[in-house]
Structure 1
């Protein structure tokens, strides 16, 4: 099968948008659907889980006079909303296996709890436990890669922990809380730097998993779970807002990290592995400077892992491509999506180029990258 080609400058267009009455820290596609789950908090300090559906149903039915219906315009339709006492900071569907017919949502909140939610009934969580002593600031899952319901959480106290949803279930049955299957906490007596972002990726072997964490002091750390040790550590000088491996299936070829000060860092992997920290190839480019320089998010297109998007504090989406040598980054252009910073961006796993973002203007925006 021929490899899809990418135009020099893919075009980005807005498909639909809608205002929301709360600040969404993340907007995620519900796997296997064109429904969106937005997670965040309102001005009163309550946590919100909202579900919107992207629909193209015509808003004006055909009449005998017009003979045909008006053209279908995609729009977002509010379907459900849940309000809780604790503010939500992050969430993921990636702990569920990709083949799951009913993926569950995991959320992390400001009180350090992790909750599991059934999307068909969000009145009460399926389970809930205390994962950290401070805000659960970020999380990611490996179920969509390995089929095992494992996920990682990062906290403002500097801890990074790996969990298994099966242990969560066993603990809930016994009336207790699960223990992490791996705890990457600061050494005793040392203050931990806030963990702002985490991601999971595949290593060189079929069952190998890597965890990368980004910290407020610029630290980037990669842990190989099979070897049980750190395989890469560096400091990129400024707070790390986002980290992501290029592939979730198969051997990762690169790792990208973005910062508060508008810098995009790309690290080269050899055969799915990091070489030593001193010899790993790194490329750094300045994406944005000034008051809107913060690069909030970096996300790869699932169907084209050599292509990724970066969002900034001015509402712009920047597109890039990893070069043949993987260490080279080529700009594919940019698009002004919003007037405020785009905090989150998520690509649809089934429809190539379709993405959803949420911004500081309290707006959900669905867009399309046209390759």
Structure 2
């Protein structure tokens, strides 16, 4: 094991008494939320705070329907409202200080909401929640730059979104990264060329995208087309025998992240040497 590379360290691990589907850092804090469902069929949101190397349960909220996903992306950094999608197809926005009833609620889908994202909290206006599925742009506060999409067969694709050819579309690079479904991809907020993928075999892979010398070239029809870069594997680690269902980087502390797995555990991780790659 080379110590020159970034290391992925499991800092804290906590077993939970429910199936956890998603975990998200609360902006501007040392707290995160876990969302899932109890065996009795109800939904749960737990708020944890990292204190002196341990996790302290701050609040537990039980809801009628299991909660599949959540995001703080649809709110301002002052409000920090949590938007959730549940098994019943309802999209709810919660004030976690007063969580008895949602501040906004809509029947968004007929069935389960599997994934949710938003574009608020950027200082450029609040965004409406947007439903997406295991894809992520590298940044939300600039023109389209890069998009990573993960798939069932263990492969992911990085698209250069700056140049779209009329027939060939966007340039992309693909990588067979895992031996099973890639459940999640998350870009490092402090360096959007670094991203982590979470796999169905309980492993995490840390990647860096390298841009080509030139991002566009003239095609045979003399029309601009994109040129894909390459991806380099920086580090990988196996944390569980079960799929890692969620992953979220801390927006405030580089290298700090939280992930949850179907082994009914939540883990706080520290990734080192990210400023040297």
TM-score by length of 2: 0.87
Instruction: Encode CA deviations 1:308-350: one digit per residue, 9 max, x unaligned.
Output: 0001111111011110226211111201222321100000101
Deviation at 1:8, TM superposition (A): 6.5
Residues 14-29 of structure 1 correspond to what in structure 2 (within 5 A)? 14-29=10-25
Residues 90-239 of structure 1 correspond to what in structure 2 (within 5 A)? 90-97=69-76, 100-145=77-122, 146-153=124-131, 198=132, 214=133
Q: Aligned equivalents of 1:279 and 1:135: distance in 2? A: 31
Deviation at 1:92, TM superposition (A): 0.8
Q: Aligned equivalents of 2:262 and 2:141: distance in 1? A: 32
Q: Aligned equivalents of 1:50 and 1:277: distance in 2? A: 48
What's the counterpart of residue 321 of structure 1?
208
Deviation at 1:128, TM superposition (A): 2.1
Alignment partner for residue 140 of structure 2, among 248, 256, 260? 248
What's the counterpart of residue 308 of structure 1?
195
276 and 255 in structure 1: CA distance in 2 versus 1, 3 angstrom threshold? farther
Alignment partner for residue 154 of structure 2, among 259, 262, 271? 262
| 2:50 equivalent to 1:50 | no
Q: Aligned equivalents of 1:33 and 1:81: distance in 2? A: 18
- Is the contact between residue 155 and residue 174 of structure 2 (CA under 8 Å) also seen in structure 1? yes
Alignment partner for residue 296 of structure 1, among 176, 179, 183? 183
- Is the contact between residue 274 and residue 280 of structure 1 (CA under 8 Å) also seen in structure 2? yes
What's the counterpart of residue 336 of structure 1?
238
Deviation at 1:103, TM superposition (A): 0.7
- Is the contact between residue 8 and residue 235 of structure 2 (CA under 8 Å) also seen in structure 1? no
What's the counterpart of residue 177 of structure 2?
287
Q: Which has the higher contact order (CA 8 A, sep 6+)?
A: 2
Q: Secondary structure at the match of 1:136?
A: coil
Q: Aligned equivalents of 1:327 and 1:320: distance in 2? A: 13
Instruction: Encode CA deviations 1:294-315: one digit per residue, 9 max, x unaligned.
Output: 1111000000100000011111
Q: Aligned equivalents of 1:9 and 1:253: distance in 2? A: 26
Q: Aligned equivalents of 1:252 and 1:11: distance in 2? A: 30
Instruction: Encode CA deviations 1:214-257: one digit per residue, 9 max, x unaligned.
Output: 5xxxxxxxxxxxxxxxxxxxxxxxxxxx2111112223421111
Q: Aligned equivalents of 2:231 and 2:167: distance in 1? A: 20
Instruction: Encode CA deviations 1:154-206: one digit per residue, 9 max, x unaligned.
Output: xxxxxxxxxxxxxxxxxxxxxxxxxxxxxxxxxxxxxxxxxxxx1xxxxxxxx
Q: Secondary structure at the match of 1:269?
A: strand
Q: Secondary structure at the match of 2:170?
A: coil
Gaps of 5+ in 2: 213-227
Deviation at 1:88, TM superposition (A): 1.0
For the aligned residue pairs, the C-alpha RMSD in angstroms reads 1.7
Q: Aligned equivalents of 1:353 and 1:252: distance in 2? A: 24
- Is the contact between residue 96 and residue 147 of structure 1 (CA under 8 Å) also seen in structure 2? no
What's the counterpart of residue 36 of structure 1?
32
What's the counterpart of residue 89 of structure 1?
68
What's the counterpart of residue 56 of structure 2?
77
Number of residue equivalences:
255
Structure 1 stretches of 4+ with a deviation exceeding 3 A read 273-277
Q: Aligned equivalents of 1:75 and 1:274: distance in 2? A: 48
Q: Aligned equivalents of 2:272 and 2:240: distance in 1? A: 18
- The higher radius of gyration belongs to 1
Deviation at 1:277, TM superposition (A): 5.8
Q: Aligned equivalents of 1:128 and 1:33: distance in 2? A: 26
What's the counterpart of residue 5 of structure 2?
9
What's the counterpart of residue 158 of structure 1?
none
Instruction: Encode CA deviations 1:86-144: one digit per residue, 9 max, x unaligned.
Output: 111111110112xx323100111111211111111222222322222222222111113
